[in-house]
Amino acid sequence: MTYSRILGTGSYLPEKILTNADLERMVDTTDEWIFARTGIRERHIAADGQFTSDLALAAAKHALEAANIGAEALDLIIVATTTPDRVFPSTACLLQQKLGNAGAPAFDVQAVCSGFIYAIATADNFIRSGAARTVLVVGAETMSRITDWKDRSNCILWGDGAGAVVLGASDEPGIISTHLHADGSYARMLNVPSGVSERGDDNTIHMEGNTVFKIAVNTLDAIVDETLEANGLQKSDIDWLVPHQANIRILQSTARKLGMEMERVIVTVDKHGNTSAASVPLALDVAVRDGRIKRGETILMEAFGGGFTWGSVLLKY
């Protein structure tokens, strides 16, 4: 049996920082309100001329270095993003060219904030089936480009960044199980109401924040149950929760569901806000590099986002 295993992780945050104090000067809000309601202190903003594929490249380079693998060895490149550089080619193809890899299949996955979970599940299936052996999976976003900076209920949340992992084929897990779901009947509750085919003049995020919050909490509780049951595990078997970094109160709720102290939850939302598909690999990389997550430990990653989409990945690091 072939499994996929994480060989290396990497991440990148753009240089420019937008603090809550900066937002106080842009909209009617306060640092106290933002921190109490979301846990966010600051977010990073891509520079003019810096695109999603540039953020992805920086994170990918770090992951390849950590895995001690050259880009030419990759036989699949997947980028999870909801803010691609262009309509086409895919951000994965643009990244592939910047990395200097040619010939491997490369494609984007679009599942908004659950994108990285979807992309890992896709890569895992390629590796398990024998279709690929060494896969780069990146979550990269420039959410600042689709943020309405006049909407105080929304603009305080989002940030730019990228995270990456290199997965390799292995005789032992690795990734134990992946669980994906979507329910498109909620499309309007969290969306950008225009695009390529459906043209419009509003290219910014719209969200019924409070309703999305409640559904996210309940749905993430259910995905925790589903993941544990599918593997015959107890809550206490999970060493680390690496959640989508949307709002500290959602993270705390999932930790409560797992009966887990917050010390076992990787929290980075304070540093970069909600970076959509980039948030899970950003958090994972931070905890791997600072030594909290160690080889052999059991990790639960989960996310919920626009679509709605949601999912989880259970793995042994």
Q: Where are the alpha helices (DSSP H) in the chain?
A: 20-24, 31-38, 52-67, 91-99, 115-129, 152-155, 209-230, 248-257, 269-272, 279-289
Residues 6+ apart with CB under 8 A from 253: 217, 220, 221
Integer CA distances (angstroms), 148 to 7, 70, 85, 95, in order: 38, 39, 19, 27
**According to the binding rule CB under 6 A, does residue 40 interact with ligand UT7?**
no
Pick between residue 216 and residue 286 the one whose CB is nearest to ligand UT7.
Answer: 216
Q: Cα–Cα distance between 14 and 97 in angstroms, integer?
A: 21
Q: Cα–Cα distance between 313 and 218 in angstroms, integer?
A: 18
Find the part of the chain contacting ligand UT7 (CB under 6 A) among 3-11, 30-38, 51-59, 65-73: 30-38
The one catalytic residue in 44, 62, 93, 113 is: 113
113 is catalytic: yes
Write down the least CB distance from residue 42 to ligand UT7, Å: 15
Pick between residue 197 and residue 210 the one whose CB is nearest to ligand UT7.
Answer: 210
Judged by CB under 6 A, the chain residues 150 through 189 that form the site for ligand UT7 are 152-153, 156-157
Can you tell me which residue has the tokens 């109160």? 249
**According to the binding rule CB under 6 A, does residue 216 interact with ligand UT7?**
yes
**Pairing mode of beta strands 76-80, 134-142:** parallel
Q: Cα–Cα distance between 86 and 51 in angstroms, integer?
A: 9
x/- binding map, residues 102-141, to ligand UT7, per CB under 6 A?
-----------x----------------------------
Find the part of the chain contacting ligand UT7 (CB under 6 A) among 94-102, 173-181, 208-216, 226-234: 208-216
179 is catalytic: no
Kindly determine how many residues on this chain lie close enough to bind ligand UT7 according to the rule CB under 6 A.
21
Q: What are the residues binding ligand UT7 (CB under 6 A)? A: 29, 33-34, 37-38, 113, 152-153, 156-157, 209-210, 212-213, 216, 246-247, 250, 274, 304-305
The catalytic site residues sit at: 113, 244, 274
